[in-house]
A and B are shown apart, each in its own frame.
Chain A
Amino acid sequence: MNLKIYDPKDFPAYLPKLNTLYDDLFSGGKGFRAKLIKMVGDQIALDPKSEHLLAQTIEFIHNASLLHDDLVDRSNLRRGKTAAWLRFTPEYAVLAGDYLLARVMVNLSGHGNIRLVQYTAEIISDLLEGEWLQDSLVGDFGLDLSQLDRVHNLKTASLFKWCLRAPFIAQERYEPGLHTGLEEAGTLLGQLFQRGDDLLDFDVRNNEGKAVLGDLKSGYMNSFAAFATSEMPAEKRAVLKECKTVADFALAIGGPDKFAAKLAEFDQKNEFLIQLYQHHLKNLKSYLKPEEMKLIDKLLPLTELLYWRRV
């Protein structure tokens, strides 16, 4: 499935640099969100055209957020390559992100389901609110996990919720119980993905070889940092920014044993979320048709991948 093109008008060739920028952006990504759409769409027999549209929509929104996010965070690298704002210009990066969001609205409105357009616009708005809030938290080393959860719910989980709900909306299935369950399951999946991702920053289950302590060095407390330092006095937390390695961080919170204990506690806390996710999925059965039941089996093991990072 070519996620870049849904409509022939998607990327006009006469615009300089536009196609180069997008080709660069779309290569190297795992396209997990599009795969999630396909997983849901296939199980509920969503028509291929709608499935293509939804898969493109989520990748466009996600990539638009990356273009803007890298510029806001002044990140030099994206997927191991020079970030778009550095390779091209900040102006092009902003415009390219805006263009993706505009294409989302053009293509979605062509589908004709106004509820889908409205829900997608809400999600984009949530995503931007999350980005805005996250930026306002840079340098706040006293953050706690519950506050961070609210930001991650807007910034990260919103897209996961969309992936689960949008295929049903595209089929004009609007049962409130179904959507409440999907909303809760999507929230938990997004939260678990974010927490798993935050652990990579501390070189935990970092099979992808992601650079470590990136968040902390840029003055941002991620979920594990907030959890692990929750008992530290405020004045001690301020020195966390000086940590150069994970070993420095472990030492700052009380040594390697303390780090291991906090990690075990964090995993246990997230195991609760995993069980809650499984509960919400099982509850969805009453809203699915008999031939759609496999969807639950497909969604259940996702936490293995997204939190535990087991492929």
Chain B
Amino acid sequence: MREFKTLSKTDPEFLAYLRGTFSSSLRALPVKSLNVSTPGETVTFEIVPVKDIQRPGALKLWAQVFRLRNFIYVLFPLYLILTKNIFDEVEFDPILAILSGFGALFVTLGAFLLNDYYDHMKGVDRIHPESGSQAIQKGWVTAGATKSWAVVYLGFGLLLGLPSIWVFPELLPMVSVPAFVAFLAWISPRLGLKYKRFAEIVVFLLFGPLLTVGYQTAIGAGFDIEALWIGILTGWHFVFLVQLKNFESVMVNSQAGFENTMSYLGFERGRRALEVIWFAFIALMAGYQWVYHSKDWFLGFVILPVIFSLGFLISLRRLKSPVGSRIREVMRMGRVGALLTLILWTLQTLFYWLVIETLA
């Protein structure tokens, strides 16, 4: 016989169960609710002994907890900035490049963990049980421990960034933006900041211009327009991925009252918006290639991304339901198209490395 416990927000034990601090030998796993319009007022937990929880191997567990896959969104822009400076023979400080690079990684790691923690505390993971790292939902780690690690990694990240801030105080305003965002997320009463309309602007800035221009400044290479271009592209690319995810959840998000651009636009207008966002990305990429590379690259970056995303664009138009396997498949095609475009961009930088090697 399974053991369940239902607690309301006003119950003194509520937070201890939600954070997982009520017992060292038991875990309280929140049970999924289909009644999405009432998240978080009461929560039903399944009480499971820690020893009965099945965990994957250590490597898989930590890869999933830390969501290593998502690191590409930080590492790739940093890689582009470094290669750009090397190709353009711009001088930068390698020590600061390493320190601030790891700093950005640790801050991202902390932010993802904090995101999982708040999704859990605010009931988002009971509405979207498949969201986040799954580590808290499956009882592999407690929410309390997740938050503690998040704080440690955020602190460690900021510590690694301090030398750059000390040397280049103009970085301070750029660092204060993420800090302000974290503060807003903290005080957001019901759901996280990401469930506000136009949160994608924040996402765009954090994974785009703020990251690339911030890193360019942090390593001592000085501000330049190309770093801003790169940031606009990586930020826009990330926004496209976020919108794919939001479109996939458009029904549940709308039912739960989550406000984001996709739930505002709805199914029909939402898929048009996805097309617009993707074509705008191709246009921005083409513009970047035209200005900073050659006409051949320009053509390649117009034609190939369209080819990569052709299946996605056709299937998106044929999509007829906001639930089911097809919407998942179409969104997967969109992600593949977007990933192939990043691979193409990587190949371009490798081509330049090859040219440098050959010339050397």
Contacts and interface: CB of A to CB of B under 8 A. Distances in A.
A276 B44 contact: yes
B320 interface: yes
Contact of B38 (A143, A153, A180, A275): A180
Interface size class of A (residues with CB under 8 A): 20 to 34
B323 A157 contact: no
Interface stretch (A133-141, A206-214, A253-261): A133-141
A295 B129 CA distance: 32
Given A140-B321, A184-B44, A276-B4, A153 B34 contact: yes
A115 to B, nearest CB: 16
Contacts of B326: 140, 142
A150 interface: yes
Interface in A129-186: 133, 136-137, 140-144, 146-147, 149-151, 153, 157, 176-177, 180-181, 183-184
Interface residues of B, number: 26
A137 B324 CA distance: 7
Interface string A276-291: 1001100100000000
Interface string B317-338: 0001111111011000000000
Name which of A133, A149, A279, A280 has the most chain B CB atoms within 10 A of its CB. A279
Name which of A133, A140, A177 has the most chain B CB atoms within 10 A of its CB. A140
Contact of B33 (A176, A184, A283): A184
Interface in B16-63: 31, 33-35, 38, 41-42, 44
A14 interface: no
Interface string A55-77: 00000000000000000000000
B251 interface: yes
Nearest to B31: A276
B148 to A, nearest CB: 31
A224 to B, nearest CB: 17
Interface string A176-206: 1100110110010001000000000000000
Interface in B283-326: 320-326
B69 interface: no
B225 interface: no
A234 interface: yes
